[in-house]
Amino acid sequence: MNRIQKKVIHSGLVMHHLETGTKGPKLVITANIHGDECIGFAVVVSLLERLPSLLKKGEVVLYPSLNPTGLRRMMRTYPEDGQDLNRLFPGDSQGSASQRHVHTIWSSIENYKPDLLFDLHTDSPLSIPYVILDRKISTTVSNTVLEEMEHLARHSGLTIVWEYRTPDYRRYKLEKSLSGTALNRLGIPSLTLEVGPRRFMDRDSITIATEAVLSMMSARGMLNEEYQSSHQPVEGIWYRGNGPVTHHAGVFVASVCAGDRVERNQLLGKVYSSTGVELEEIRSHFPALVLSLPAQCWVRELQSCSTLALEVRPEP
């Protein structure tokens, strides 16, 4: 039985370290950087119970919550200044409260010198479980690392989605996300798991995400038994794309479900006024897989009404 060491980094930020003493991958598992996304927290506590008897080689560091104050208030952002921590990596020791917090997280991860990173997130209650593979924007990232990411993702049982094309990836500051920074600065395979609904502790989603993590660890030979997720992904390789946006605020009534494949120009749903008058139709601009639909029925003007994945690789 391997022993877990708990280390407090600062004010509520805690990591658990589990080592076998046998040479193998050094894995970092992070959760709850978005404070209202709690499934990953439950996955970490489940892994803390199971890994001491399952881990055969290498070592694992687990962070149950990267945003403990956001967790208490059920806020996506960092409560002190309202910023999205997952767009600020590697942080700044002299910057704002969130930049300093991110700097502390990043220093702790970077000093550990990991070989692999899994970051646990959730999406809308109307979504399918998927795994995002970050975009290589640094020349120091080898193709072997990208192949390794795809290989691991195939073992996760989750639908595989490569990130936006580079201009959108940069526009959304995704190279400053934790997984984007791990890939592009450390040059290590790094995966973002999007499993389950934010704000809800959904039992099935905890199981799917825990199985995904254990299956990927098993694929790297880290466990003393073979593990394969029983979840069935939507086959194929997909690329994250922008869903069409609304031109009116109103009630969005979807015509499709998460997990549906849609054709170009297919109706995704309609926006109605609160009096029941149809304001507009929302149609897909390309053939796609519907990854998620909005959690709230009232949508704003210029809001994207879905997260879609394209089947065709977008331009770099």
Shortest Å, Cβ 60 to Zn ion: 21
By C-alpha distance, which of 316, 313, 274 is closest to 297?
A: 274
Instruction: Tell me the residue nearest to Zn ion as measured from the CB.
Output: 121
Peptide bond into 294 cis (omega under 30): no
Q: Name the residue nearer to Zn ion (CB basis): 121 or 220.
A: 121
Is 121 a residue that touches Zn ion (CB under 5 A)? yes
Per-residue DSSP letter, 239: E
Residue number with CB closer to Zn ion (37 or 175): 37
CB 70 within 8 A of CB 199: no
Nearer to Zn ion, 116 or 132 (CB): 132
The site map against Zn ion for 36-75 (x = CB under 5 A) is -x--------------------------------------
* Phi, psi for 315 (deg, rounded to 5): -60, 150
Alpha helices (H) along the chain: 39-54, 68-73, 97-112, 143-156, 166-171, 178-181, 203-219
The answer to whether residue 231 forms part of the interface with Zn ion (CB under 5 A) is no
120 vs 268, beta carbon nearer Zn ion? 120
Q: β-pairing, 267-272 with 250-254?
A: antiparallel
With CB under 5 A as the rule, give the number of residues binding Zn ion.
3
Q: Is 193 helix (H, G, I), strand (E, B) or coil?
A: strand
Cβ neighbours for 53, distance < 8 A, ≥ 6 positions apart: 1, 2
Query: What residues from 12 to 41 belong to the interface with Zn ion (CB under 5 A)?
Result: 34, 37
CB of 292 to Zn ion, least distance (A): 12
Provide the residue type at 271 as one letter.
Answer: V
Question: In the bound complex, what is the minimum distance in angstroms from residue 65's beta carbon to Zn ion?
Answer: 13
C-beta of 78: minimal distance to Zn ion in Å? 13
Nearest approach, Cβ of residue 286 and Zn ion (Å)? 25
Q: Which positions lie near Zn ion, rule CB under 5 A? A: 34, 37, 121
